[in-house]
Every structure is written in structure tokens, then in C-alpha cells.
Chain A
């Protein structure tokens, strides 16, 4: 279904702000391949201007086969984790057929920065940067302590299941990459033993965090990959070098150290996690990202996607191979 978002937004503005409300500025934010993000504002006489974010699925969604949750599930997750004190963007509206926008939801715009490179290197974040790794640990402990909302209908996974799923995907591409082959085999052999699964964000990394230059982590965004699994999965994912934005010396998101992340996690009530577990999930994270890059190239090669972004992402596989070979060299 093709939807002209700009045509449909004025009616949504009236629905949210009343009959006199008008749309004041709307633009698609860059990034996001399967999901569109729009920034827009609603103005109504006598009311303060409301700055909002529309998240909208732009590619077809199959709840049976997709790893993504529905946007309605995402809304339920935001409500559930907010109740436990985790920062998430306040939910304003879940769109229905009357909105004519397809599957989407609206949240308040939270002030801050999401661009990883700026968070890692812009002097505006110098003061708050040393606090971020610890805050990330605290926030993850809050998320992991949240009972999964039943209506979100989340899938459960663990280390070996994730590994098998990505290996199957890799095989389906027909690519032959020695470092990926070695990593699948090595991680299978060195998989950390399973633990009691918890609610996971599933895509907790620098880039999905709204960071305020004074207060730090202001909101955790993009809940579509949420699932139930090993708590170390979320901690390992934010340590994947692909989201350190040129600062491999600061393993947590390019802004902090492992010890700060783990200390924040424990201080907020999270069960202690050994660093070796985080490193194993980090290695699996690099491997997963490498396979995802291959898949994004494949979606272009098979004609499913036409954007120039897709084939170029295929050339990011070598970054994950460089990271993996160094992790294997250091030992797991």
C-alpha cells in the first residue's frame, strides 16, 4: 500500500489537536530502512505547540515470519517499561484505519541527540559522556526487570538459537566468507550456558538512544526488535564495535567502559553478568550485523529494494570480519 504521509498528516494533526489544529512542519528523518520516522508538529489556537514523532512501517509486515514486533506491540512495550522507570518516548497515539497512514504510532519528541557520531565526539556531550555507560547499565536493568506485556506476543530466543538462525540466513545468501564461517563454528563451540530469559530491548545501541547533553540517556527508542532472551544479549549489542563510531577504545557505544556498564547494571538491581558473557554476545552481535549487511545487499540484488543504500551496506561486512578476527585473536 502506497501512502503519501505528507497528505495524510494534516488530518492526523486535527485528530490529535482538535478541529482548529494545523500541521506545522513535517519532515522525514534520515536513516531507517524498513521503518520510516517523521518529525512533525501540531499547532492549535491557545495551546502550546506539540513536537511529535511518527514511526511508520514502510515495508510489508508478516507477524509470523518477521523478527519485528508490530507497532501496537511497540506501544505496549513503551508503556510497560515506562512503568518500571525506564526512559522511553511517551506514547501519544496508535494509528488506525481512519488515519490512512498504514501501521504507525505517534510519540512525543524527546529533546536530545541520537546520532552516534555526535554523541561520541561532539564537545557538547563531553560533560555527560563519562556517565553514559553506567546509565545504560541502569536502564537495561530496569528493562530486564519488566514483566513482558502479553499483548506484545514476543518471541523467545537464546545464544545457540540466534546463532543457528543467522547461520541459516548466511547460507541462504550463497556468500563464502571465511571469517564468518570460522565465527559460526567457534561461537557454537564456545556458547555461554543458557540463563533464565528476560524482556530484552533487542536493539540497544548507540543510535537508538536519545542522549541529552546535560542529563544523558533521555529515552530508549525503536522497540521493534524486542524479544525475550539472555540479558547479556542487550549488554553485548551496545558493545559491538560497529556502533562505537570511531572509538574502539571505548567499548560501550564509543563512550564508556565495560566495567561502568556492568556496575550500573548491578547497582540498579540487575543480576551480575560476567564480562566473558558480554564479550561472547558482542562477538555474536558483530556476526549478526555482518549477516544483516549481507541480507540488505541481497534485498537489492533480488530486486526487493532499489535504494543505493542497500548494495553499499554489503560492503560493511568486512568491518564485522575485522572486528571478529580481532575478538577471536584476543580469545573468547
Chain B
């Protein structure tokens, strides 16, 4: 991967520029500009944190479902088992694994969100 600049540095540069022009905008456009800057924040964090988060999530699903596989197929199987009711909130390790996966995703989507 190219390091001078890294991809997340490019998104950060654009986010800073969007922020810098916000004071010149009307209320509606300023609001959307803030959203746009936040989008670039998500993209930047997904670039830096995403690969490790997905690998950790996959490992947790492998333990939970007791067999190997890629993230998408494991996630799909877990959804199906929850839908059918063969796994539920009382399944050992389920809530802990879901919580860890969701908190890793939240660290990408909204690191400042203070959950319940």
C-alpha cells in the first residue's frame, strides 16, 4: 500500500477541508457538511481498524458456531440460527461474542457514542 500519503490521511485531509468551509455555509448545508466530514471519519477508521475488527469478529463466530469459515457465511449462519431459535440469549457465550463484535463496529461507526 502507498504510505506517502496513506489512504486515511487523504480522507482526513478532505474532512478537515470540509470542516474549514462550514462557517461559510447556510444552516442546512452546514449540517450536511458536518455529516460529510463524519462520513470521512468512518471511512478513515474503517481503513485503520476494519481489518483487525473483522478478523476478531470472525474468530468469535468460529468459536460460537464451532466450525471454520469466512465472516460473511458465518454471520449468515448465526442469523439463521437466531431466527430459527436454535440459539438465543441463553446460549453460553452468545451475548458476550455479540457484544464484542458490536463494540468493535461501534468504534468504527461512532467512537464517541456512549451506549446503554
Contacts and interface: CB of A to CB of B under 8 A. Distances in A.
B42 interface: yes
Interface string B84-116: 010011000011001101110110111011111
Contacts of B76: 176
Contact of A179 (B27, B35, B85, B102): B102
B39 interface: yes
Interface in A1-48: 27-31
A238 B82 CA distance: 28
B39 A308 contact: yes
Contacts of A182: 82, 88-89, 94, 98
Q: Which residue, B83, B88, B94, has most C-beta atoms of chain A within 10 A?
A: B83
B108 to A, nearest CB: 8
B82 A178 contact: yes
A185 B85 contact: yes
B89 A315 contact: no
B32 A318 contact: no
B39 A241 contact: no
B27 A176 contact: no
Contacts of B99: 322, 325-326, 329
Interface of A: 27-31, 176-179, 181-182, 185-186, 241, 244, 246-248, 286, 307-309, 311-312, 315-316, 318-319, 321-323, 325-329
30 contacts: A28-B28, A30-B30, A31-B31, A176-B75, A178-B78, A178-B82, A179-B98, A181-B78, A181-B79, A182-B82, A182-B88, A186-B89, A248-B114, A286-B116, A308-B36, A308-B39, A315-B110, A318-B105, A319-B106, A319-B109, A319-B110, A321-B98, A321-B106, A322-B103, A323-B115, A323-B116, A325-B98, A326-B99, A327-B116, A328-B89
